[in-house]
Amino acid sequence: MSIVQRACPAEGAQLDALTMHCDHARLIDNLGLEQRSWWTPSRRHFRQKITVASQMRDLTEARAEFDWLRAGSTVGQQGALRDLDRAFTNFFARCSGYPTFKKRSGARQGFVVRDLAVRRINRKGGEILVPKAGRVRFRISRARTDICAATSARIALTNGRWTVSLTTPPVPRRQASTTPVVGIDRGVANSIATSDGRMFHAPGFSAGEQGRFVALQRRLSRQQKGSANRDRTKAKLARLRLRLRLADRRGDWIEQTTTHIANTYAAAVENLPIWYLTRRAKPKPDLDNPGVFPPNGGRAKSGLNRAILASCWGKFAQRLAQKMSVVAVPAVYTSQECSNCGHICPENRESQAVFRCQGCGFEHHADTNAAINVRDRAFEIEHQPGGILGDRVCQSRKRAASTVSVA
Ligand SMILES: [Zn+2]
């Protein structure tokens, strides 16, 4: 896990060196991505497959040839290739989309530092040895003990703010043997609802902040690329992002909520493929008038997509799975099914918040009802011994059986 520290590169020369490393990492990443996209199944017979190892060899050759590339840090450049390899691994594991080219104007730039030499210099400050830049000072904003445990670091420039993230060994996952099992339903009005009736809300923009943001983004989209005015709007957007710190607030919320849940329960999470849910609405061509597209609800869908992405579902599930055992269950009809009698129909859901079963009249908060369904499905999937929840399910079944026999 990494911790983020705020760096403050003091002198111009240091800043230049850090920027150079970012530029090189981006260049290597883009070249590596282009090289990988050459490979096609039809070429497999006469060209060797491009791997991270072959690309490292190519990098060594390129460094021998170009002085300006040799002036950069080997580790940072190799780190970019490793990051690219990771991106492809994630893509083939269906965890993320196809890797994209990085822009100089992108919101986030960064590079990796290995062979870590980092130390505390006073109560609030530390310094890290960066190749070609010397000792760069930073402000410690997380636990000081993490500095000793760190194995590598990543220096990044995000919205005009330099940060150092120190990578530390992950905390072992909690075992789900003694804690109760909870179902988790992810939603838009309530970001997270648990089966025991609790709600968690991800931090978001207020209406005014959202308005300013959208206004700036609209202005940006109208301005000519490469113009001075566009740069000015971009800087304004970056300052707004920095001041509101939405990404920081959301990250903080995710860490605190997942830690809380991991300490309290053994969880079950709905299995929602987020990339699939947040696709844009398909245009519906009008068959009688070619070239005409009647309304398809695209705007409403975009709004919903934005709300889904703002609820941080993906990052939440990822961090939760890193902290505890999580069972993924099929998500179909969890919001329409009655957790009392199992009756499924869309009319069960009276409104966003109210669930009233048309079959048995059971009434509950709609999100809590869905979370209970998720929990029950996790029990059904994990009934075999050796499953993550195996023992607990056996216990609960035994309890259920004895109650019946006594009655
Ligand atoms: Zn019912």
pLDDT by residue (tens digit) across 220-242? Answer: 889 998 899 998 998 888 888 77
In angstroms and rounded to an integer, the radius of gyration of the C-alpha atoms of the chain is 26
The 10 Å Cβ neighbour count of residue 348 is 21
Nearest residue to 257 via CA among 175, 328, 168, 323? 323
Cα-to-centroid distance, 343 and ligand 1 (Å)? 5
The alpha helices in 46-73, defined as continuous H runs, are 52-65, 67-70
Helices (H), 265-361: 274-277, 298-310, 313-323
User: In the predicted model, what is the mean pLDDT of residues 277-285?
Assistant: 64
336 C-alpha to ligand 1 centroid (Å): 10
Residue 2 confidence class, pLDDT cut points 50, 70, 90 = very low
Q: Are 50 and 35 in contact (CB under 8 A)?
A: yes
Kindly list the catalytic residues.
185, 270, 367
Retrieve residue 105's tokens. 């104007």
- Overall pTM surpassing 0.75 (yes/no): no
Cα(393) to centroid(ligand 1), Å: 23
Q: What are phi and psi of 310, to 5 degrees?
A: -70, -20
- Report residue 86 as tokens: 């990771």
pLDDT grade for 383, boundaries at 50, 70 and 90: low
Indicate the residue type of 114: R
pLDDT at 362: 87
* Centroid of ligand 1 to alpha carbon of 365 (angstroms): 13
DSSP state of 174: B
Determine the pLDDT at residue 111. 93
Q: Is 257 helix (H, G, I), strand (E, B) or coil?
A: helix
Residue 328 CA, ligand 1 centroid: distance in Å? 24
Q: How would you write 234-267 as a 3-class SS string?
A: HHHHHHHHHHHCHHHHHHHHHHHHHHHHHHHCEE
For the packed helices 246-264 and 228-244, what is the interaxial angle rounded to 10 degrees? Answer: 30
* pLDDT tier at 112, thresholds 50, 70, 90: very high
Residues 42-65 have a mean pLDDT of 83
Q: If you measure from the C-alpha of residue 388 to the centroid of ligand 1, how many angstroms do you get, rounded to a whole number?
A: 29
